[in-house]
């Protein structure tokens, strides 16, 4: 017996074949192009994404010709518009990084009644991360798309919905709760598309995808004849929530950081929906007809900071050098980076802030700049977690970190040292893929007790904290500099 899991992410499509013991048997990956029509606009070619998926699936099928089922995880918030009768896209996907809905969001945030209602129903804010404002922009600026949507000839959906609809030959127009929850059109308390939210964005009520729990069966496909028979698609979830589930963050206070281009921090707050000023309240997963929620912090800057050192400043040739060079010195020599490349997110919420190196002097070397950049990524995460614990009156106990930056051991050790807790790191990077698979297994084996999933835990490496007064001092100085240069004219938190 084997399983296949799909990850349709921001940068690429990845397929992993798992054997009967859930070990990785094979992995296939192909990147897709990033399209920037103009400043602030980010799109993906949906035809390219679909074709890449089919190309990789044919390779996976050669290894696993009769998988038990196929699961899927995907980049959240990014949405597709596609033909109802063919499933083919009618325009490029609008990516979560795209800011074309910025003015629409600003107008809504200036309306206290609207902004309050959005948070009460979705746990989120009117932000361009999410789909609704950008869908509204398209309705205002692309009349042919608007006409097709209103007539029902064009369908709207997140990436999972588009792929599912096309793979099932237009038979399954569906999504899961985690993806629906990122549109700003879905009520995360009663699990319905909400007319009030459509009204706030001045979007006419559309016939949207049927919403199911992540651990559901979603239909069948032969993936364009990749298989000799149709294979069940079971287990679909947005990438962050899939990773959260894979790390078995089922208990109150369990916290996970996923690192990649940016970072995502999620903390389990149980089944009671709770608003938070410094974080988004996210529908983490649904189980036994109950929603489980997490507080979520999003940042677009983590691995992107290291990429900036490599691609823009040419200080390093590969990402691993950020650790190598940093280990050659004991500190940054008084240099600090405020990595506000796209503003400062939670807990500072300073959208107009811009990145700054501070403390450069005649003795500064590239090693100091590189270490300052690496430390700045750590500091962003730690300061948010400090606010989270303070505002919610709890002590962080269990912290799991996954994603691309877990290869950097210095990065992990600095987080452990500053938080003074033990950090757990799974031995595989593909936790979102594994989480989608676990949702499918939960359905396949009819698992009703979350504790029964603990037998599927991925083995981990633990990082114990060490007292590090020098790093602690650097962190305190970094916070003071953020306050001095970026927050001095706004109300202190």
Q: Is the pLDDT of residue 493 over 60?
A: no
What are the pLDDT digits (tens) for 71-83? 999 999 999 999 9
Asked if 138 and 203 touch (Cβ cutoff 8 Å), the reply is: no
Candidates 439, 447, 127, 446; CA nearest to 300 is: 127
Asked if 54 and 223 touch (Cβ cutoff 8 Å), the reply is: yes
Q: Is the pLDDT of residue 257 over 60?
A: yes
3-state secondary structure of 478: helix
3-state secondary structure of 452: helix
CA distance 352 to 120: 26
Q: Is the pLDDT of residue 205 over 90?
A: no
Backbone φ and ψ of 137, nearest 5°: -60, -45
Q: Are strands 70-74 and 3-8 parallel, antiparallel or unpaired?
A: parallel
What are the pLDDT digits (tens) for 117-159? 999 999 999 988 899 999 999 999 999 999 999 999 999 999 9
Backbone φ and ψ of 154, nearest 5°: -120, 140
Asked if 233 and 165 touch (Cβ cutoff 8 Å), the reply is: no
Going along the chain from its start, the domains and CATH numbers come out as 3-240 (3.30.420.40), 248-493 (3.30.420.40)
What pLDDT shows up at residue 394? Answer: 82
Candidates 36, 13, 33, 17; CA nearest to 25 is: 17
What pLDDT shows up at residue 490? Answer: 55
CA distance 303 to 263: 8
Lowest mean pLDDT among 11-15, 25-29, 318-322, 341-345: 341-345
Banded pLDDT at 300 (limits 50, 70, 90): confident
Of all residues in the chain, the percent with pLDDT exceeding 90 is: 81
What pLDDT shows up at residue 433? Answer: 96
For the chain, the 3-state helix, strand and coil shares in percent, each to the nearest 5, are 35, 25, 40
């Amino acid at each position: 017996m084997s399983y296949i899991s799909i990850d349709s992410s921001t940068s690429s499509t990845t397929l992993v074949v798992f054997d009967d013991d859930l070990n990785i048997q094979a992995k296939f990956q192909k990147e897709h192009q990033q399209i920037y029509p103009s400043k602030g606009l980010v799109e993906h070619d949906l035809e390219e994404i679909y074709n890449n998926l089919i190309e990789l699936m044919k390779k996976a099928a050669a290894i696993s010709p009769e998988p038990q089922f196929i699961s899927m995880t995907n980049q959240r918030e990014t949405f597709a518009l596609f033909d109802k009768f063919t499933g083919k896209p009618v325009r490029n996907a609008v990516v979560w990084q795209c800011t074309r809905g910025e003015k629409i969001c600003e107008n809504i945030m200036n309306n206290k009644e609207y902004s309050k209602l959005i948070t009460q129903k979705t746990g989120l804010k009117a932000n361009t991360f999410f789909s609704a404002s950008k869908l509204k922009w398209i309705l205002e600026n692309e009349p042919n798309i608007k006409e097709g949507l209103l007539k029902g000839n064009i369908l709207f959906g997140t990436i999972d919905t588009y792929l599912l609809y096309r793979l099932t030959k237009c038979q399954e127009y569906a999504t899961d709760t985690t993806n629906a929850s990122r549109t700003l059109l879905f009520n995360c308390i009663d699990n319905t598309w909400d007319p009030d939210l459509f009204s706030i964005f001045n979007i006419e009520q559309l016939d949207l995808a049927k919403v199911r729990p992540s651990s559901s069966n979603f239909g069948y496909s032969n993936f364009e004849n990749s298989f000799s028979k149709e294979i069940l698609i079971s287990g679909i979830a947005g990438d962050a929530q899939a990773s959260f589930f894979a790390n078995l963050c089922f208990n109150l206070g369990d916290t996970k950081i996923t690192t990649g281009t940016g970072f995502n921090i999620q903390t389990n707050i149980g089944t009671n929906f709770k608003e938070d000023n410094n974080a988004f309240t996210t529908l983490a997963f649904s189980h036994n007809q109950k929603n489980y929620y997490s507080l979520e912090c999003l940042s677009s800057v983590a691995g992107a900071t290291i990429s900036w050192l490599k691609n823009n400043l040419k200080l390093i040739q590969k990402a691993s050098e950020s650790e190598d060079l940093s280990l050659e010195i004991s500190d940054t020599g008084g240099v600090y980076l405020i990595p506000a490349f796209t503003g400062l997110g939670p807990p500072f919420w300073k959208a107009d802030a811009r990145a700054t190196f501070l403390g450069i002097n005649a003795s500064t070397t590239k090693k100091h700049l590189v270490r300052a950049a690496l430390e700045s990524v750590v500091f962003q995460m730690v300061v948010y977690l400090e606010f989270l614990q303070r505002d919610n009156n709890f002590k962080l106990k269990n912290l799991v970190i996954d994603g691309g930056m877990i290869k950097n051991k210095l990065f992990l050790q600095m987080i452990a040292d500053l938080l003074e807790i033990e950090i757990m790191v799974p031995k595989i990077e593909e936790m979102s893929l594994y989480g989608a698979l676990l949702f499918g297994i939960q359905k396949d084996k009819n698992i009703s007790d979350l504790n029964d999933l603990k037998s599927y835990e991925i083995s981990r490496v633990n990082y114990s904290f060490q007292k590090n007064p020098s790093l602690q001092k650097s962190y305190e100085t970094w916070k003071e500099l953020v306050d001095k240069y970026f927050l001095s004219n706004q109300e202190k938190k």
